[in-house]
Amino acid sequence: MSKCKKKHFKRFDQINVIPFIDIMLVLLVMVLTTATFIKQGVIPVDLPEAKATQKEDTQKEVTVYVNAKGEMFFEKEKVDLTQLEEKLSTISKKQTVVLRSDKESKFQDFVSVMDILKRLGHEQLYIVTKE
C-alpha cells in the first residue's frame, strides 16, 4: 500500500501591512530629517524670484541694499564696505538684517555683505525675493 500525502495550501485572505507601515515610517523620518536640514541653513539659489513669500512679524529690521551697479546702502544711506561693517557692528546681534540684492548685481557684492554679517556674528538674516 502506498501512502499519499495530501498537501494543504492555506488561502491568503488578508495582506500583512506591518512591513508596509515600517517602510512608510522610515521614509517619513527621512523626509522630516531632510526638511530640518534644509530649513536650518540652505540659501535658495534662485534668489530673484520666489513663488510664495512670507512676512513674519519681527522687531525693528535693518535693511541692507545692493543695487545693480554694486552700490551698497544701509537703511537708504549710501555706504562702502568698511562703513557698512561699522554700522552693522553697532546694532545688536539678535536684530534682524534684511538683505535686498538686485538680481543684476555681482555675486561678489552679495558674498562681501554675507562675509561681514558672518564675521560680526549676525544670524538673523532675511534675503528678500520677488514673487
**What whole-number percentage of the chain has pLDDT above 70?**
70
Range of the domain at 76: 62-127
In a domain, 73, yes or no: yes
Structural domains in the chain (count): 1
Looking at per-residue pLDDT, the higher value among 8 and 38 belongs to 8
pTM (whole model) above 0.85 = no
Whether 17 shows a pLDDT value over 70: the answer reads: yes
Sheet with 97-101, edge to edge strand ranges: 77-79, 72-74, 62-66, 97-101, 125-127
Cell (9 digits) for 75: 537703511
Cell (9 digits) for 55: 512676512
Asked whether the beta carbons of 93 and 120 are under 8 A apart, the reply is yes
pLDDT at residue 38, as a whole number: 52
In a domain, 26, yes or no: no
Give the tens place of pLDDT for each residue, 53-94.
555 544 578 888 888 888 888 887 888 888 888 888 888 888
- Which H or E run contains 24? helix 18-41
In a domain, 23, yes or no: no
